[in-house]
Amino acid sequence: MHALDKAAMQLHAGCIPVATTGGFLVESRTRGGLVHRVSNVGGCSCESGQNGRPCWHQSLIEILEVAQQRTVLIKQHRKVTKAEALAAIDELFA
């Protein structure tokens, strides 16, 4: 839970991961100039990640991925206007 809380705080503080081949780069918030790699396969390169513990870097990526999935679902299930429905019906039966 601590990793999720810290990830949410870092996200609100403006931490933006950079997408790269096979994962993301996340800047360390405590050590200037240090960048951690969150890999789709190998986890995070930070100390916690390398020791099999949850880290906020991975949690940050998970938060963003879940938010993106939910946004796509919401867009797919948007309400259709009456005019759109009538146009679709006309197209089907024309």
> What local confidence, expressed as pLDDT, does residue 36 receive?
95
Cα torsion 13, 22, 58, 77: sign = positive
> What local confidence, expressed as pLDDT, does residue 43 receive?
92
Assess contact for 76 and 39: CB atoms under 8 A.
Answer: no
> What local confidence, expressed as pLDDT, does residue 40 receive?
81
Predicted TM-score of the model (pTM):
0.71
> What local confidence, expressed as pLDDT, does residue 9 receive?
87
Ranges of the chain whose pLDDT falls below 50: none
Range of the structural domain that residue 45 is part of: 2-93
Total domains in the chain come to 1
Helices marked H in the chain — which ranges? 2-12, 47-50, 56-76, 82-93
